[in-house]
Amino acid sequence: MGRHQLWRKVSSIPLITYFKPAGIRMAELEEVRLLVEEAEAIRLKDLEGMEQEECAQQMNISRSTFSRLLDSARQKIAGALLNGKAIRIEGGNFEMAVRRFRCMEGHEWEVPFETMISAPPKLCPKCKTPSIMPLFPTGMHRGGHGRRGHFRRGISG
Ligand SMILES: [Zn+2]
């Protein structure tokens, strides 16, 4: 048995990450949590119209894994739509196709997915300081009450 592929490559984070049906009081509102990689699966297959094989390659996962992601995503979205539930898009096991970093001196650089998975950066390539932080794409900050770094590591183990 090979190691499980934990990280799914995601090239786009939805700008809007919360959908709420009209006319339902918060107290009665049920929520469905759509993982970021599930949203990406829907985006590639249903929005971009790509073949499953292509989508799987794009996300760096097997075709059967992609198929499961897609089924799960569609089921959650359908359930939310037809049963009047809210959808929150967050979390999961994914890494951005390109991740931008910034060091304390203000240098910024980009790290490709393959590098993030094999050897994430520990130093700034210009000034060699270890004080570096990832810059999250737009749409990942949620109003100020979302924890920064929330999306970075979806699982704890
Ligand atoms: Zn630097």
- The stretches of the chain forming alpha helices (DSSP H) are 36-42, 52-59, 63-83, 113-118
| pLDDT of the residue at 150 | 41
What digits encode the pLDDT tens for the residues 40-69? 999 999 999 999 999 999 999 999 999 999
Task: Determine the distance separating the centroid of ligand 1 and the alpha carbon of 100, expressed in angstroms.
Answer: 13
Strand pairing partners for 32? 87
What is residue 3's predicted lDDT score, i.e. its pLDDT? Answer: 53
**Ligand 1 centre distance from Cα of residue 152 (Å):** 21
Residue 12's pLDDT is what?
87
CB 123 within 8 A of CB 129: yes
Q: In the predicted model, is pLDDT for residue 6 greater than 50?
A: yes
Residue 130: is its pLDDT beyond 50?
yes
Exposure string of 6-25, with b = 16+ CB inside 10 Å and e = fewer, is ebbbbebbbeebebeeeeee
Predicted TM-score (pTM) of the model is 0.79
- For the stretch 140-156, pLDDT in tens is 544 433 344 444 443 43
Residues less than 5 Å from ion ligand 1, measured at CB: 103, 105, 107, 124, 126-127
pLDDT of residue 145: 39
User: Could you report the per-residue pLDDT of 25-39, keeping only the tens digit for each?
Assistant: 888 999 999 999 999
